[in-house]
């Protein structure tokens, strides 16, 4: 299985521009035969807590239909970062598109204290299954919490997908299950890093 992580600098609040950037990066991932690509925290809007209430939407937003079409056509799983609406408030979420499946939304369960004025927590861990491999998404701060990773492991997760609010300073990286750095991007450019879980090969673009 080939998993891609995107490192990008979203335009503040510019959903139209950011969606096009997503599509371009997905096209690159597809050209390198990626089975999945995951984008940073709030990649669609930029990490803008004060704007999140006005920009928040849902997984059924028609502006995201192209991602489902791309997923279906190219057999690729896509995860994008979006502020979403809930009955209790705004959540930091990842909307996931899988080939010929209903869209799913994972919402960050563990917020940093700075986020409490703007967001509410999600309450359920998502487990994605691809090629019989279980993947647990984690969004930024919560990936630093041992109990979150432990719970994902108890649910059978074999891959832990950490999505942070990188602005192309991120050194987005792949780590082995032994804690070894397998590969990383630089600290200044947008791009994608693709990890082949079978061969342990890393591709950077």
Q: How far is CA 27 from CA 31, 141, 182, 191, in A?
A: 6, 29, 24, 12
> For position 96, what pLDDT does the model report?
97
> For position 198, what pLDDT does the model report?
85
The residues of the chain scoring below 70 in pLDDT are 141-171, 175-179
> For position 131, what pLDDT does the model report?
83
SS3 of 174-204: EECCCCCEEEECCCCCCEEEEEECCCCCEEE
For the whole model, what pTM was predicted?
Answer: 0.84
> For position 129, what pLDDT does the model report?
86
Please answer whether residues 116 and 198 qualify as being in contact, where contact means their C-beta atoms are separated by less than 8 angstroms.
Answer: no
Per CATH, domain 2-204 is 3.60.110.10 = yes
Domain ranges (residues) in the chain: 2-204
> For position 119, what pLDDT does the model report?
97
Q: What tens digit of pLDDT does each residue of 130-163 get?
A: 888 888 888 875 655 555 455 555 555 454 455 4
> For position 199, what pLDDT does the model report?
87
């Amino acid at each position: 299985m080939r998993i891609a992580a995107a490192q990008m600098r979203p335009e503040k609040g510019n959903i139209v521009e950011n969606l096009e950037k997503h599509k371009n990066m997905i096209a690159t991932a597809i050209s390198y035969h990626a089975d999945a690509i995951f984008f940073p925290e709030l990649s669609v809007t930029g990490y803008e807590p004060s704007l999140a209430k006005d920009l928040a939407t849902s997984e059924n937003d028609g502006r995201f239909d192209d991602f489902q079409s791309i997923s279906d056509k190219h057999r690729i799983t896509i995860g994008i970062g979006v502020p979403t609406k809930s009955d209790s408030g705004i959540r930091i979420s990842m909307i996931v598109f899988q080939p010929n499946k209903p869209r799913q939304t994972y919402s960050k369960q563990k917020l940093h204290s700075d986020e409490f004025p703007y967001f509410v927590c999600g309450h359920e861990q998502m487990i994605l299954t691809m090629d019989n491999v279980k993947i647990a998404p984690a969004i930024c701060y919560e990936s630093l919490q041992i109990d979150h990773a432990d719970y994902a492991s108890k649910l059978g997760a074999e891959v832990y997908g950490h999505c942070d609010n990188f602005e192309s300073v991120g050194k987005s990286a792949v780590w082995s299950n032994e804690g070894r750095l397998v590969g990383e991007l630089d600290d200044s450019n947008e791009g994608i890093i693709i990890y082949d879980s079978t061969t342990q090969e890393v591709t950077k673009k």
